[in-house]
Amino acid sequence: MPIFYGKASLMDYLKPLKISHSTIGFVPTMGALHQGHLALMQKSLAENTNTVVSIFVNPTQFNNPEDLAKYPRTLDKDVKKLTNLDPNIILYAPTVEDIYDGKPVSESFDFDGLENQMEGKFRPGHFNGVGTIVKRLFEIIEPTNAYFGEKDFQQLQIVKKMVAKNHLKVNVIGCPIYREANELAMSSRNERLSVQEREEASIIYKILSSVKEQFSKNSTAKISEWVQKSFDNNPNFTLEYFTIADEATLLSCSRKNKNKKYRAFIAVLVNNIRLIDTISLN
């Protein structure tokens, strides 16, 4: 499998592949690859002539140094998974120096307010970091199509906004959430949970499924109260936020409008490990 640690050699390798009618699919990741990542790659492989995967734990999107330090880094295992999936995948695993040229700081973006909700409120600066790295990766790779999981739905909307505002020529494609057998959304952070915590974390999707059932019958205030109570009864989990929001603006919904698409968003702390999930409601 072709592996590149620096952008110059990757760009040289990609240049002859950018001929007419050929396409480059791109899956950006921070590694610790799981089935959810592999599903994005399978879609890219099926839809494009070439597929590039990046593995880079981007320091500028972490507002919590402990979270950055503890983020799983499993490059050797990841390379084996990629090779098993398809040895033609092109891997870009850059160093911080290669991406940031000695200055690991974020650019400042205006995402029309999408950045001020949910993850943006609880992780200040996070989306400037995401915008910075995704824009740089798009500029280096110039993909035709880029694949993102819907678990990070706010990130997906922000990347679409960044692409539109910067007139980048890439199709941003959202892909369904992959879940473990107990319906916990797949995430690299799940590796940090104990077996028991991982099992108990199935409560998150159970609650979201019940929210979906309640959505047509109850007010969003009543549903939010019920969610808070469900976590109050569960001392191992701390609810960071729960909100029902408009999919397009990500603004919280107090009164439902039948012409809008809504989604529930949740972030929960289990033993200081942050888990997020989301479900479409209508």
- Dihedral sign (CA 168, 170, 174, 178): negative
Between the alpha carbon of residue 89 and those of residues 24, 46, 213, the distances in Å are 11, 12, 41
Site for ligand PAF in 153-212 (CB under 6 A): 155
Sign of dihedral through CA atoms 209, 215, 238, 150? Answer: positive
Q: How far is the CB of 161 from ligand PAF (least distance, A)?
A: 14
- By rule CB under 6 A, what count of residues binds ligand PAF? 10
Pick 134 or 211: Cβ nearer ligand PAF: 134
Residue 120 interacts with ligand PAF (CB under 6 A): yes or no: no
Beta strand 262-270 with 273-280 is antiparallel
Does 106 bind ligand PAF (CB under 6 A)? Our answer is: no
Closest C-alpha among 266, 261, 269, 263 to residue 277: 266
- Residues belonging to the binding site are 30-37, 61, 149-152, 155, 186-189
Name the amino acid, one letter, at 177. I
Contact between 58 and ligand PAF by CB under 6 A: the answer reads yes
- Piece of the chain touching ligand PAF by CB under 6 A; list 27-35, 74-82, 105-113, 243-251: 27-35
Applying CB under 6 A, among 10, 24, 25, 28 the residue interacting with ligand PAF is 28
Most distant CA atoms of the chain, gap in Å: 59
Near ligand PAF by CB under 6 A: residue from 115, 150, 152, 277: 152
Is 37 one of the annotated active-site residues of the chain?
A: yes
Count of CB atoms situated within 10 Å of the CB of 34: 16
Contacting positions for ligand PAF (CB under 6 A): 28-30, 58, 61, 130, 133-134, 152, 155
Residues belonging to the active site: 37
